[in-house]
Structure 1
Amino acid sequence: MALNKKSKESESDDFNLTKNAFLKFSGITLLIALGVAFSAILYFSYQDYIHPKHVYGRWIEIGTPEYDTEIMTLSERGVFRNERLITTDFGYDGTLITVTTGSGQTVYQVAGTPKSPQLKRVTPSSPAQRFIKSGYEDTVKSGGGAAKRRRTALSEHFNSKK
């Protein structure tokens, strides 16, 4: 009879041991699965963040006279400057756009706000060049450059003397 009682306790201990091992294994598996899922979410959200679709569109130069305004178009087909293809590829890392042509490399930085998306040319830094996305032109003051402002100031000065 003592042998029978001992074997029941042994079976109970084996069951508790298997149950504990199963719970530990399940917990570890759950943690690993959560880690993999979190990593996948981070990876795919970063890939979406650096996708060039965020800068696709027409970009209009600001701060220049109308007759000398450059229009740059970024698309899946490449980069167009004033409706002419300059390269079929460009790089985008979430903040910088790198355009490489036969005449060298030009780097633009995404600037502005979501309500006024802008690009600022970083390389080459001279002459300074800024673009605004088409459709948002009304969010910036059209200064027309220093010469236009100077002419307007002189005109207002002499017209107010009359």
Structure 2
Amino acid sequence: MSRLTFAKSAAWCVLWAALSAPAMADGPLMPAQVPSVYKQECAACHTAYLPGLLPAASWRRIMGGLERHYGSDASLEPAQVQQVSAWLLAHAGTYKRVREEPPQDRITRSAWFVRKHREIAPAVWQRASIQSAAQCSACHTQAEQGQFDEHQVRIPR
């Protein structure tokens, strides 16, 4: 490879990385500081979702209706609601795939979730080892850290 060709290739790589960085940076990752009440209360029934998986408007509605949270009473003390809400809103998704609010503010009904899981038969979600689509960590072994690499998926029997 000539020096000029190598330089052009290197320049394109640097340009691609610079242009891609913002898109990758605001993808779903679990923020470093997670409120303990979020881990305790939310993860008691389902995966402690990454705040970046929903837009701020969805989180506002969810946190404003905890007494009727998808058929359960998930009420918290007002100070806890304020703390968790502030954290969720500060880390809410703003990137392309979460700009559109999913039906009923359900992550599992968002267009990107449905597309990514289209090969999963409905019966798989009903397995006792999985329970529902809301249990990301049942199959995504590193979901709690915000890692959803398809090479890390293990669908339990």
TM-score norm. by structure 1 comes to 0.24
Which structure ranks higher in relative contact order (CA pairs < 8 Å, sequence separation ≥ 6)? 2
Structure with the higher helix share, 1 or 2: 2
TM-score (norm 2): 0.24
